[in-house]
Structure 1
């Protein structure tokens, strides 16, 4: 039952996101990026994990630019073509290090980027189709970020889910393997987990 509910929520939110005007994506994304950059954890982090936005996701590219400009070590996910649900993480030093990968998403080029065995950034920005106030998320259903968040992390690690205010919903059905983020950042508020 929960899976069907999740699928229904996912489809409704994706439909709404797909109809967003470019100006709204830019304005709302800008508010979210400013909120993330105002976090002391962003300022302090030496290693961060970010994603490349697609299909009207929160545009975090200004965070990529800030990370590169401030000398942070920037990791980005790279999906394994032959192992669904598994991501590797490459060190990206510039946009030129990215190439089109799985699902048409820009990701670290396997021939140009370093892929360390151990990746443990202090801050990870997590995209989602929807989040609830407890930090649980609905993604595309592959479990990629749940697997990453389930791994042992640094003590000072902070996971930040980013979404537009309309993607914040009550009562996402939670499965035993679902992992929540510590902070949900929308264009209107920051929701910390206690």
Structure 2
């Protein structure tokens, strides 16, 4: 099935979720992430700010700050589609409205290091297959990041609702799978 058809269907389904449904499912997913050894051991993590009923990982931001982890958040470059920079965010007040209506690190308040190599990255997706490949919004932002050399032990965790696990979509040569998919019902590890 065509990625654009799948993307449209999944986004429609996600848009119909109620606030309590998002809160319940997101809570299950966040709870599973917090139980991962990789989360507990991570010193540097990369998270995202949720939009349009994405899995609400904001409790992980607070947990990262409370446990002393270095927290990176993405910031889309203006006039450079598909390219993200990553700012070190120390508090929610360091976030401002940015591209696509997404909260992102304030360029004047946050450090933007040249090299960003987190131990763990939480990756949003419109859909995932059971082999770790994802469908995003189509800009290739996360694929570009995941294609870069990463540190040993690095783990990319895709987070989504159980209905967002789909089979049978095409993979492009530049697509990069995640190592783990965490839904509100299961963990799907890649070997």
What's the TM-score, normalizing by structure 2?
0.99
**Structure 2: where are the runs of 5+ without partners?**
none
**Structure 1: where are the runs of 5+ without partners?**
none
Counterpart for residue 163 of structure 1 = 160
Q: How does 1:137-156 map to 2 (within 5 A)?
A: 137-156=134-153
What CA distance in whole angstroms lies between the structure 2 residues aligned with 1:43 and 1:89? 21
Deviation at 1:110, TM superposition (A): 0.3
Q: How does 1:127-142 map to 2 (within 5 A)?
A: 127-142=124-139
Counterpart for residue 29 of structure 1 = 26
2:13 pairs with one of 1, 5, 16 = 16
Q: How does 1:168-187 map to 2 (within 5 A)?
A: 168-187=165-184
* In the alignment, structure 1 residue 189 sits paired with structure 2 residue 186: yes
1:6 pairs with one of 3, 7, 10 = 3
Deviation at 1:172, TM superposition (A): 2.2
Q: CA RMSD in A?
A: 0.6
2:121 pairs with one of 124, 128, 133 = 124
What CA distance in whole angstroms lies between the structure 1 residues aligned with 2:122 and 2:47? 5
Which deviations, in whole Å up to 9, do the C-alpha atoms of 1:126-163 show, x marking residues without a partner? 00000000000000000000000000000110000000
Deviation at 1:67, TM superposition (A): 0.2
Counterpart for residue 109 of structure 2 = 112
2:70 pairs with one of 57, 69, 73 = 73
Q: Secondary structure at the match of 2:114?
A: coil
Runs in 1 of length 4+ with deviation above 6 angstroms? none
* In the alignment, structure 1 residue 63 sits paired with structure 2 residue 33: no
* In the alignment, structure 1 residue 84 sits paired with structure 2 residue 86: no
Q: How many residues align?
A: 191
